[in-house]
Amino acid sequence: MGIEAAITAEGFMTTQLQRLINWSRRSSLWPMPFATACCGIELMATASSRYDLARFGAEVMRFSPRQSDLLIVAGRVAIKTMPVLQRIYQQMAEPRWVISMGACASTGGVFDTYATVQGCDQFIPVDVYVPGCPPRPEQLIEGVMAIQRHIDNEGIPPTQGGKRMPLNIALAPTHAVRPQPVGLRIGAAGAN
């Protein structure tokens, strides 16, 4: 993995303890999947062998919040579900991080209704917003890497007056929208 090149012939290397802690933290993010809808399928694909989230040390999905430090909200959140999401967030290990995956989790998406939360950031601090409907696995991985970069540089999430402040990182879409398939003609059957 390249570590051999970093270690000198004597077989040891020196570093700062804080850098070592940050390195181990960012290399072992354990996600808590809160997948309520179709974005959850992309989340599963991200962990599969094709995209291999394990390359970033974040493949160990935990379904117990006490063993997780990365909450991935994938899909729309109903008003009735919100207390459950909040409880899960509060039970997770510190320092903890939150990714809002997809349009529904971030804004309610097309579900502009009284029953759907119009953005989970109204109730929990969101660190990274991953755009898309659904986001591709590469985009979600970019979100994980954004958190890793922050851990590398800062170590722990920012706080203000003892209150957890969200990172508020909004990823830019990585694809250009293409027009719909062309060549469709509307007319009477057999007119073509």
What count of Cα atoms within 13 Å lies in the side-chain half-sphere of residue 79?
Answer: 6
**Considering beta carbons, is residue 43 or 58 the nearer one to ligand SF4?**
43
Radius of gyration of the chain (CA): 20
One-letter amino acid of 126 = V
Give the separation between CA 38 and CA 3, rounded to whole angstroms: 39
Q: Which of 104, 128, 140, 151 binds ligand SF4 (CB under 6 A)?
A: 104
Whole-number minimum distance, CB 56 to ligand SF4, in Å?
21
Q: What is the DSSP code string of 124-136? A: S--SEEEPSSSPP
Q: Which of 33, 65, 109, 137 binds ligand SF4 (CB under 6 A)?
A: 109
**Does 76 engage in binding with ligand SF4 (CB under 6 A)?**
yes
**Does 65 engage in binding with ligand SF4 (CB under 6 A)?**
no
One-letter amino acid of 149 = R
**Does 134 engage in binding with ligand SF4 (CB under 6 A)?**
yes
Give me the residue whose beta carbon is nearest to ligand SF4.
Answer: 104
- Type and span of the H or E element at 34: strand 31-35
**Considering beta carbons, is residue 21 or 133 the nearer one to ligand SF4?**
133
Q: Between residue 23 and residue 42, which ones bind ligand SF4 under the rule CB under 6 A?
A: 37-39
**Count of positions on this chain that bind ligand SF4 (CB under 6 A):** 11
Q: Which of 31, 65, 75, 131 binds ligand SF4 (CB under 6 A)?
A: 75
CA 134 to chain centre: 12
Cis peptide bond N-terminal to 134, omega within 30: yes
Chain contacts with ligand SF4 (rule: CB under 6 A): 37-39, 75-76, 102-104, 109, 133-134
